Each structure stands twice: as structure tokens, then as C-alpha cells.
Chains A and B, each alone.
Chain A
């Protein structure tokens, strides 16, 4: 067993020296073709807007405050959409930290 471990260690060292071992993180990322990124950004904005509008209309119907909460959540949804798009291009914080 000792032999085998020693061999595994030497192999690992040799691989590391040669740079054969793939880096632990960030190897696989989302595909980043222009069209792909553009469509993703669009979908992110629209879906955040849908959520905002649905929440606003639902709360309005429940509380009888038409149309004020709808207007508020429409703006919040738009802001969330922008923040989604920002997050799409900003480097993900958690990945670099650990």
C-alpha cells in the first residue's frame, strides 16, 4: 500500500508540475456567445418584470389599492431586472472567495 501511495503522490506532483491538473474552479462557465448573452439579459429583465407586475397586481387586488402597488412593484421589478443583468456580467463573488 505504501508503494502505491508514494506512486500516487509522485504522479500528482508530476502532473502539478506539468500543469496537467485542471484548475479547481471557473473551468466551466456559461457559454458566452454574443447572442447567448443578449438573450439571457433579455430573459432576465422580462422575468423580473413579470414577477414585479404579478406581485403588484396580486397585492392590489387583495388590498384594494389599485393601481398604486402595481406601479410600485413595476418599478421594483424593473430595478430587479437591471440588477439581474448587472449580476450577469459582474464576476461572481463567491467563486473567487473560496
Chain B
């Protein structure tokens, strides 16, 4: 598919197309949406099915559900503090959605919805709006003091305040670009090296031997991508926690 005409089509995997046949085409339901639904359904299935028995000694699925819960619970309490517990559902949902999106994308033929900047930016914008709303709700007008650090001389205010505002506004951008760029770069690399395997294999007698090199590299890359998939979901969640900490405590 990719090696046709000796061209490397590394970006074709990110193309959106209507899913679910005629109905999907009519309402603009794409393969990206399909995988989002799929990820959501898998998360619900894991939590509901895993905790169905709620046994004292957990089985495999319950162990997985409980360790995911405990992992995020620890993170929220450690970063935001005890009063941050009420944000647990938000952070947990974000983390699981991104993690499942990243992991599902690693399956062959699957679509990675976190490799689209629109998706990651929508997630980051949600975080940004929530964090700002929490800060204003908790601190009222004092929130705007956040843009003027204590102890800075007053005459620097015309410089510091715009810089702080730009820095604050850059949060959703850096949050979304980091996730999107990591996922996209990983999948492009996988596709490029996979194409090399096919191209080299068709190179006569030495081809199949040579094609083992990109194949070995791809195997290592898949393992690396599993790590990245987890790490990026983790980074997204922990940065959300850090921003929530700033919103709750204002420095």
C-alpha cells in the first residue's frame, strides 16, 4: 500500500474518512470519532467489568482497574493536595482517554486520534478553561494577581504582565503540541521504516536480507512507541495536575 510507485506515503495514515457507511458519511462521523467511541467503550468496560466482583483479592482485570485508579489518585493528591481530590474524575478521564487513544493507535490498521492537533488542542483547551474557571471561582479578583509575581518592582509591571499573560496563554498550545507531535512523529517513523522493509525486500537476492535491518528497527520502535504512548498520557495528566495546583493555590 505504502510503497506503490516507490513513494513513501507516511502521512496517509492520518487521513480522515467517513466511518459506519452511509450514516457516518451523512453526519460527518469519521474513523477518528469511531476510535474515540471505541476508546471510551473500552475504558467503561474495563472499569465496570473489572470492578464487577469487587473482590478482596483482585483478579487480573480488577487489578488493572484498581492500579489505574490508584495511579491517578496518587498523582492528583501528590500534585494538587488533598483538596484536589474533587478533580480526580476529570484527570482520570483525561488520562484514560489519551492513554487508550495512544495505545489503540499502535494496533495495525488502527487510527490514532491523538495524532491530530485538533483533538489534542480541544483536550488542552478544556483543561485551560477548567483551570482558569477554577482559579477565578476560588480566588475571584486575586487570580489576576497571578500575572504579577510578588516582590517584583512596580516599574517592571508593564513588561512582566504581558509576558506572564503570553506565558499563561501558551499552556494549552504546549500541552497540545507535545502530545500531537509525539504521536505523529512516532507513527510517521513506524510507517517510513515499514515502507523501507517492503522496498528493500523487492531488491533482488540481497533484498530480503537487507530488509531485516529496518524490520529490526521497527520492532524496537514499536516497543519505544508503547513507552511514548504511556509517557505522553502521563505527562498530559501530570501537567493538568500542576496547572490545577497553580489554580487552587495561586503559586
Contacts and interface: CB of A to CB of B under 8 A. Distances in A.
B93 interface: no
Interface residues of A, number: 33
The B contact surface, by secondary structure, is helix
A32 B130 CA distance: 27
A22 to B, nearest CB: 8
B251 A94 contact: yes
B216 interface: no
Contacts of A48: 166-167, 170, 173-174
A44 interface: yes
Given A28-B79, A31-B231, A83-B163, A47 B170 contact: yes
Given A94-B246, A94-B251, A28 B166 contact: no
Contacts of B191: none
Nearest to A92: B242
B-side interface size class: 20 to 34
Contacts of A73: 162, 166
A79 B75 CA distance: 31
17 contacts: A24-B78, A28-B75, A28-B79, A47-B174, A48-B166, A48-B167, A50-B170, A55-B169, A80-B170, A81-B167, A83-B164, A93-B251, A94-B245, A94-B249, A94-B251, A95-B245, A98-B81
